């Protein structure tokens, strides 16, 4: 049985595949940096990092700091949870069309 966060990751992965977005899931094995987002993507040449959470949860302070650093560096960083996963498809479309470069932090 999948966890609630696993279900969100499955939906995000499907949206990325459907939008033909290059992506990967960094290994979380304790040897790398802490708080690296769950999914790293390239959307039409734009860097996108996605943190996935169950239910309506938000990133931890250290995870939010990493997302903020990505945004400050010119990339896009968002947290997707069960309450806003439907917004991802529209956001990917807008990024692909060059309408936006930096993601809003969905709440």
For 62-88, what is each residue's pLDDT tens digit?
999 999 999 999 899 999 999 999 889
pTM: 0.89
Complete domains list, the chain, with CATH? 4-23+34-96 (3.40.1350.10)
Q: Where are the beta strands (DSSP E) in 33-75?
A: 39-43, 46-52
Tell me the pLDDT band of 103, cut-offs 50, 70 and 90.
low
| pLDDT on residue 32 | 73
């Amino acid at each position: 049985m999948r966890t609630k966060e696993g279900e969100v990751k499955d939906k995000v992965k499907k949206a990325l595949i459907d939008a033909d977005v290059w992506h990967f899931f960094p290994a979380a094995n304790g040897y790398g940096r802490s708080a690296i987002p769950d999914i790293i993507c390239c959307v039409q040449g734009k860097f996108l990092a996605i943190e996935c959470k169950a239910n309506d949860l938000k990133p931890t302070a250290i995870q939010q700091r990493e997302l903020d650093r990505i945004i400050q560096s010119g990339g896009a960083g968002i947290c997707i949870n069960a309450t806003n996963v439907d917004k991802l498809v529209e956001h990917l479309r807008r990024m692909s069309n060059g309408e936006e470069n930096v993601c809003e932090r969905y709440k």
